[in-house]
Copies of this chain bind each other. A is one copy, B any other.
């Protein structure tokens, strides 16, 4: 089973559409020497890194955008990027109060007394007060901060966590990061001792994890999510997986879990969370909880979000030595500030000497970008009831939330309505991960073209509709199944048209390759 993990193939980035002749091309007069830095001589691990979210399909979509800009005739008017959770690229509006605060932090000249009267015509008072408070703490957004992140912001993150979970949080164990991705890589780098280090990853998973394990030459130890049970955990499979890996000499020491799931969109039940914590406690495994979609919860009654930290605390004294790192980000939720690269991780039960080593490691990169840190502050400490900007903030958050919820349902229904396609609902996050039954003729055509069948389907979809998704092999899937991941982020007023394109394409694909 483990050998059958269909992760993104190495072919995904082979042909770069952006090849341009080097301006310093070899003279034809003298024989060219080999390059010092070549595919053969370079770091092998880098060659093994695959990140399908920006792989072959994304590169193809790029070149189609260029074609459209050059007015080439194509069967669609625009390329719709559903390969990546990038809400503001698809015109989701940022949160007004947040952008007001950060724009004031950018330009402190606006805050001088002589500008106040004019400023108040453009900015609410509470945004001004917040910016002044932040600037007192950071001095300037252009100055390096503390390497763990601005202390007052870490204190606010601690308060946010305490309020969410009812459990104390230590600001010295909270590190701000350039997006959650950066934090995940830092932690995995510290944990990976050598190529025998085993890190458990869910299948399907967000390929930052598999890419990072390739880069650090660690051993992935997969555990399968159960598609027939709404992508729930299968504890038997998890137990078997670690047993098998350890019997082969793999030093399994950490488990990555994504809740809500990416690409799968499930919200883990409280029972599943307890089971995982108990498993990690029994098996001496560090728990790495990717919780970046914790506010993208579409069935809060039936499937609310529970942080791993909160449940761990509730499980009491016996579990006190569990080692947990939780990750959060400003990229997702309803705020979607991906391009800003901000987030944090919180360490619980991690050895203090190791915390110091991590602090030392991140200090060599000085600090995460300060505006990203400020967005973390705003995300975790938004306008409160009674604040001037609160009604607008609530309204904006609510509108985006309701819209995401509607689109989540629409897209799952759209796929479920297609012949040979089943799609679990998205209880959370920003994606659906439908299973597509491909006709045998299509599978053969794919083989002939040297492509994985799901990749082949997605490439044909892109060519026919301009919609760019990511093939399931980019995330991992059960053997002999084919999936794709699509976001549900296209603008709501164009969503029916978007679903229509997918339906039409699927019908045409089946007709073309019917047995």
With A109-B96, A321-B24, A354-B39 in contact, is A339–B33 under 8 Å at CB?
Answer: no
Set B141, B191, B348: member contacting A42, Cβ < 8 A: B191
Counting chain B CB atoms within 10 Å of each CB, the highest count among A16, A44, A168, A207 belongs to: A16
Asked whether A9 is an interface residue with its Cβ less than 8 Å from the other chain, the reply is no
Looking at A83-91, A265-273, A447-455, the stretch in contact with chain B turns out to be A83-91
A473, B231: Cα distance in complex, Å: 54
A181, B179: Cα distance in complex, Å: 17
Set B89, B109, B122: member contacting A99, Cβ < 8 A: B109
Set B14, B22, B103, B108: member contacting A104, Cβ < 8 A: B103
Q: Is the CB of A320 within 8 A of B109?
A: no
- Give 1 or 0 for each of A394-424: 1 = CB within 8 Å of chain B CB: 0000000000000000000000000000000
A189, B37: Cα distance in complex, Å: 12
Set B32, B36, B54, B336: member contacting A285, Cβ < 8 A: B36
Asked whether A486 is an interface residue with its Cβ less than 8 Å from the other chain, the reply is no
Asked whether A494 is an interface residue with its Cβ less than 8 Å from the other chain, the reply is no
Q: Is the CB of B16 within 8 A of A356?
A: yes
A172, B19: Cα distance in complex, Å: 8
Q: Is the CB of B139 within 8 A of A89?
A: yes
Set B84, B143, B254: member contacting A144, Cβ < 8 A: B84
Known: A25-B320, A88-B140, A144-B338. 13 other contacts (CB 8 A): A16-B355, A35-B350, A36-B285, A39-B357, A46-B190, A49-B364, A51-B363, A103-B106, A118-B122, A141-B339, A142-B336, A179-B365, A211-B364
User: Could you list 15 examples of A-B contacts with CB < 8 Å?
Assistant: A23-B348, A26-B321, A27-B320, A37-B286, A37-B323, A38-B353, A42-B191, A46-B189, A46-B361, A89-B144, A100-B109, A110-B122, A179-B366, A215-B364, A341-B368
